[in-house]
Amino acid sequence: MSSSASGTLSSTTVGETGAPVVFLHGLFGQGRNFTQIAKALVPDFRSLLVDLPNHGRSPWTDRFDYAATADLVAAHLREGFATAGPVHVVGHSMGGKVAMVLALRHPELVDRLVVADIAPATGGSLGEFAHLLDSLAAIDLTMVTRRGEADEVLAQRVDDARVRGFLLQNLRADGDGFRWQANLDLLRRELPVIGGFPDVGGAVLDRPVLWVAGDRSDYVRPEHGPAMRRLFPRTTLVTIKGAGHWVHSEQPDAFVAVLRTFLGADER
C-alpha cells in the first residue's frame, strides 16, 4: 500500500498487479474506507483509493459542485493511475454520483463503472445525513480532551456505535486539541447540492455499468430506473441482500463477489 498526493487530491494505492480500479467514497468517508475491499481484490486488481475534496487528506473547496469534483478526479487520474488507459471506477453514494458525472464528462478515462446504492436523482434520505451533520456540529471540540469524550457526546444523538465510529474517523488530534479533517461546515451548507444531481446535457455512456443496491436501502428505487438507463443504457442492476446504504461495509464478501464477476467479465 502506498500513498500519494499528486496534483490536488490525496490517494492511496493497494496492490501492484491486475486491472486498475478507482474507488470513490461517500459523504463523511475517506478513500481508506475501501481498503478491505481493495485488499480482497489483490492480485487480480490494483486499486486507487481517492480522498474526495473536503474529505480525508484532500484539500477543501469553498463550494460543492459535482462537475468540478469529477474534473478534479479526472485530472488526478490523468496524472498517474490512468496514464496507460481507461480504468474501472467504483463509487458509493456521493462518490457514486461523482463517478457517474466523471464517466459522462470524461468517458475516455472509464472502462467499466460501478455505482453503489445511489441514483442519478435528487433526494434520498437527506434528513438522515442532515441529522448526522448536525450531531457532529453539536460537539464542542474545545471541550474534548480525548476521542472517547467525543463519542460520548455523539452517542446522545447517534445510537449506532458503528455509525459513530465511521463519523469520528474524521476527528484528528491537533496539538493539544482536536479538529475535524472533513470540511463539515461546507458539507452541512451544501447538503441540498450533494443530494441533487447535475444537468449533464445529452451525455450518455456506452460502457458496461453495474448498479448495486442494498435491499434494506431506499436510495435506489424502481422510479430511478429510466433516468439511470437513459444515461447508462448498458446498466445491470444487482441487489445485495442484508445490506443497507453502506453496502460495501455491511456485506463486504457479497460486494467483492459482484465486483469480481462484473469487472472480470468479457465485454458485452
Strands (E), the chain: 2-4, 10-14, 19-24, 45-51, 87-92, 110-116, 171-174, 177-180, 209-214, 235-240
Q: What is each CA distance from 207 to 23, 67, 70, 103, 267, in whole angstroms? A: 18, 20, 18, 9, 9
Question: Pick from 222, 266, 217: which is nearest to 244 by CA?
Answer: 217
**What cell was used for 20?**
486498475
The C-alpha atoms of residue 125 and residue 180 are separated, in whole angstroms, by 23
**Identified catalytic residue from 92, 224, 245, 248:** 245
Q: What is each CA distance from 27 to 20, 56, 184, 242, in whole angstroms? A: 23, 11, 10, 21
The C-alpha atoms of residue 153 and residue 142 are separated, in whole angstroms, by 13
The C-alpha atoms of residue 136 and residue 164 are separated, in whole angstroms, by 10
**Identified catalytic residue from 10, 11, 58, 93:** 93
With cell 463486504, the residue in question is 252
The C-alpha atoms of residue 132 and residue 184 are separated, in whole angstroms, by 10
Clarify whether 93 is annotated catalytic.
yes
What backbone torsions phi and psi does residue 38 show, to the nearest 5 degrees?
-60, -40
Please tell me what DSSP assigns to residue 30: -
**Identified catalytic residue from 134, 185, 215, 218:** 185
The C-alpha atoms of residue 243 and residue 52 are separated, in whole angstroms, by 24
Clarify whether 185 is annotated catalytic.
yes
Clarify whether 245 is annotated catalytic.
yes
Where in the sequence numbering do the catalytic residues fall? Answer: 93, 185, 245
